[in-house]
Amino acid sequence: MAKVNKNSRRNFIKGASLTGLAGMFTHASVAAEPKVEPSAKNLIFLVADGMGTGTLSLAHYWQLRNKGRPLNWMHLLERRGVRRALQGTASASSPVTDSAAAGSAWGCGQRVNNGSININPRGKSLEPLFVRAKKAGKVIGCVSTCRITHATPAAFVANVAHRDSEDVIAEQYLEREVDVLLGGGRRYFESSTGNRMDAFVKKGYAISKTLGDLQALSGQGGPLLGLYTDDHLPYALDRAQDRALAEIPGLEIMFEAALSRLSDSREGFLLQVEAGRIDHAGHVNDGAAILHEQLEFDRCIETALQFCERHPDTLLIVTSDHGTGGCQLNGAGEAYKNSGAALDGLNSMTASLEAIAGEVKRTGSLYRAYFKSVTGLDLPEEKVAVFNKAFLAGAEYPAGLLADTFKAELGLLTAVGWTSHNHTAEHVELAAIGPGASLIPPYLENYQLHGHICRALGI
């Protein structure tokens, strides 16, 4: 979706001075660091992909209103020893990053161009964090609600000139022996190459295709490949509502399964867990879908903290790679007193716009009664006709078309507003706890995190 105009390169060269400034921050923080080297044995890296602070706040206020408690993310910030930081997210080619460049910044410690994974703008391949950790004797794992070959997990393991080379990324996972891979994206392991799944089996991987067999495999050691959909996993909102999706595990369950596989390694482990579809719901501008993705991610923070209490030699990092869509709960009504009630509007949405678009594709048309049954909204007939005309004309993103056509109605129902369907340049939150957390300065650029992680782990 990102279009690069002629000016962006020149404009970004202006931004190069920002890099120099960040270097000063690094220098200052090194001087202030403690002399005793921390020694984290394990790393749990939780990524809320595409989560701006507006999304975090939306989920926080929804949870306060509906469950009477704050998010686990907020609880984490109150813990003794936690380090909170603001993180810049620019890439080498733009102030607005994509997931490939943002993940690579963490993965290899350098800014790369949007679209590339651990290959810098001069074409040099840089060793990804997990490859380095594997050489140090640690086991490694990636869990995602996206295709497991998608940019963020790939950025911890792979080197490709373009993120779309997911077939190559799958091959590199095999060669580089990622010990646990759980998520979507079966098509890069089965249909596109025929026998890649067999190659994993030959290397000793257990294979999981359903929630049931993932649970049956629990408690066993050894490498594990679990792929539950050809493409991305369905949204948490749809998994909760649609019985047909019951055999697809959620992020929390996959995270727990990965922890149980990796945690008995004597040398320790590195595990990346990505709520990858916060980003997708942001691209679509789907308030209900983004809320439930964020809530699912937040439950993983609790799982991680419980693990860290039992394994205090674990460094936990919770962060995002960039914002997407500019999601915000807006002030609504006189003196904004309707904004609380507008959060309840999200509860009447029982299907994502993606699932609704899927139904439109199946039936060939959007029906008002169906839309009302899954959102509570009574749409004006003339606007439904406008949507159906655009849909039949071959709209590229029907879910985004739903969001755009019914922006006013959805905005009145939920008070959730958006800046665009694109990524944003906003700085993102980072929280870290455990050995090495104090190495992370209160302000950093994304590419600086890599060095702090390596130092914390002694790799």
In this structure, what DSSP letter does residue 172 have? H
- Distance, in Å, from the CA atom of 235 to the CA atom of 292, rounded to the nearest integer, reads 8
> Least distance in Å: CB of 249 to Zn ion?
22
Contact stretch for Zn ion (CB under 5 A) within 165-173, 319-327, 351-359, 425-433: 319-327
> Least distance in Å: CB of 444 to Zn ion?
18
Which CB, 75 or 421, lies closer to Zn ion?
421
> Least distance in Å: CB of 321 to Zn ion?
4
Contact stretch for Zn ion (CB under 5 A) within 91-99, 175-183, 217-225, 431-439: 91-99
Residue 208 pairs in a beta bridge with: 226
Instruction: Please say whether the beta carbons of 140 and 269 come within 8 A.
Output: yes
CB-based burial, 153-162: b 16+ in 10 Å, e otherwise: bbbbbbbbee
If binding is defined by CB under 5 A, does position 286 make contact with Zn ion? no
Instruction: Please say whether the beta carbons of 260 and 218 come within 8 A.
Output: yes
With CB under 5 A as the contact rule, the residue among 42, 49, 353, 445 that binds Zn ion is 49
Which CB, 48 or 197, lies closer to Zn ion?
48
Residue nearest to Zn ion (CB): 99
Contact stretch for Zn ion (CB under 5 A) within 92-100, 153-161, 263-271, 338-346: 92-100
Which CB, 42 or 149, lies closer to Zn ion?
149
Which CB, 256 or 429, lies closer to Zn ion?
429
| Residue keyed to tokens 């020694």 | 39
> Least distance in Å: CB of 98 to Zn ion?
7
> Least distance in Å: CB of 99 to Zn ion?
3
With CB under 5 A as the contact rule, the residue among 91, 99, 149, 352 that binds Zn ion is 99
Residue 184 pairs in a beta bridge with: 147
Which CB, 252 or 321, lies closer to Zn ion?
321
- What is the three-class DSSP state of 24? helix
Which CB, 303 or 319, lies closer to Zn ion?
319
| Alpha-carbon dihedral sign for residues 325, 331, 332, 337 | positive
Q: What's the gap between Cα 215 and its chain centre?
A: 24
- Distance, in Å, from the CA atom of 189 to the CA atom of 179, rounded to the nearest integer, reads 16
> Least distance in Å: CB of 95 to Zn ion?
15
> Least distance in Å: CB of 44 to Zn ion?
19
* C-alpha distance across the termini of the chain, in Å: 37
Binding positions for Zn ion, 252-281, rule CB under 5 A = 279
Contact stretch for Zn ion (CB under 5 A) within 60-68, 94-102, 105-113, 339-347: 94-102
* Residue 399 tokens, joined: 């879910």
- Distance, in Å, from the CA atom of 89 to the CA atom of 445, rounded to the nearest integer, reads 6
Contacts with Zn ion by CB under 5 A: the residue count is 5
Q: What's the gap between Cα 81 and its chain centre?
A: 25
Which CB, 321 or 429, lies closer to Zn ion?
321
Which CB, 88 or 435, lies closer to Zn ion?
88
If binding is defined by CB under 5 A, does position 91 make contact with Zn ion? no
Contact stretch for Zn ion (CB under 5 A) within 131-139, 197-205, 309-317, 320-328: 320-328
Q: Indicate the residue type of 176.
A: R
Which CB, 400 or 434, lies closer to Zn ion?
400
- Distance, in Å, from the CA atom of 434 to the CA atom of 219, rounded to the nearest integer, reads 25
Q: Can you list the positions of beta strands (E) in 209-359?
A: 224-227, 269-275, 314-319, 323-324, 328-329
- ∠ CA 397-399-403, rounded to 5°: 115
Sequence-ordered list of residues with C-beta below 8 angstroms from that of 150, at least 6 positions apart, any chain? 99, 144, 163, 166, 183, 185, 232, 274, 276
If binding is defined by CB under 5 A, does position 321 make contact with Zn ion? yes
> Least distance in Å: CB of 282 to Zn ion?
9
Contact stretch for Zn ion (CB under 5 A) within 43-51, 58-66, 163-171, 237-245: 43-51
Chain residues binding Zn ion by CB under 5 A are 49-50, 99, 279, 321
